[in-house]
Structure 1
Amino acid sequence: MSDYRWSRLMSAGTAAYGAYALARPGHLADALEAPSSERAGHDRLARTYGVRDLATSALAFSGRPTLVRTAMALRIAGDLGDCAVLTSTTTDPDVRRKVAGVTLGWAALNALAWLADERS
């Protein structure tokens, strides 16, 4: 039976991002190169990402395989949703590529970790 070490490793990374998003919510507006009039909204969004990512990571650290699987599925779905939402907030193609690369890349890494754990 798998110990879900790769999923837990990715969950640790996600938890670290969640803490960062809560501590420095302005990072999202900076990354999106958002105008100052949109910063408050992006800060709120970053905080929701922080809470979500800490909650899903807590599930993954629970020790129960069903909850680890649930956490990984929620994380991947969240990353795909983040891609859809965040790429629609800018018309700058460079920012869109950057956002898509980060969100889809993290979703892919989580999917690979989960797959590796399920196969072990």
Structure 2
Amino acid sequence: MRVRLLRVVGVATSVYGVAVSVVPDLLAGPSGLVDEGGRVAPATRISLRPLAWRDAASGLALALAPEGPALRTAAYVRIAADLGDAVLLGLTLPDRDRRRKAVAVSVGWGALSVLGLRGGGRGGRDGG
């Protein structure tokens, strides 16, 4: 297991989740969930905050879980969330180009966690 990589993914997703929970426009804008004037509807802000909080919580778990089964479980949760995002956003975002980008970003983050779960590689368990 590449523990350092999992910790970095955890911290990054947690920080991003907190940021989006405070400023949902950070996710709404790039996702195309804005009106013609680039404004985010209040209902969209409300619906994005729980998603962002999920990322903050799962990222924090990945960053802080003890090494072993707990860390592995936290990584699986993070991977499931990323793959779920890829499927759901890939099917539902309003613009084809934005759907592709959302899928690429989601799969990319999930792939980092999968890589983190793989054996230690160069440099032992934290190698990489």
Alignment partner of 1:28 is 2:27: yes
Match of 1:62 in 2: 65
Higher helix share: 1
Q: 1:86 to 1:66 in 2, by over 3 A?
A: same
Which residue of 2 is the match for residue 39 of structure 1? 41
The whole-number CA distance in structure 2 between the counterparts of 1:94 and 1:66 is 38
Equivalent residues of 2:2, 2:117 under 8 A apart: no
Partners in 1 of 2:90 and 2:106 — Cα distance? 10
Taking a change above 3 Å as real, the CA distance of residues 38 and 23 of structure 1, as seen in their structure-2 partners, is closer
How many residues were matched structurally? Answer: 119
Structure with greater Cα Rg:
2
Indicate yes or no: 2:91 matched with 1:88: yes
User: What TM-score results when the alignment is normalised by the length of structure 1?
Assistant: 0.81
Large movers: runs of 4+ above 4 Å:
116-119
Q: Which runs of 5+ in 2 are unaligned?
A: none
1:8 is matched with: 7
Residue 49 of structure 1 deviates from its aligned partner by 2.2
* Letter in structure 1 aligned against 2:57: A
What is the aligned-residue identity percentage?
Answer: 29
Kindly provide the CA deviation profile for residues 1-44 of structure 1, in whole angstroms up to 9, marking residues without a partner as x: x6722211111111111111112112222112124397344323
Q: Which moved more, 1:110-119 or 1:50-59?
A: 110-119
Cα RMSD between the aligned structures?
Answer: 2.5
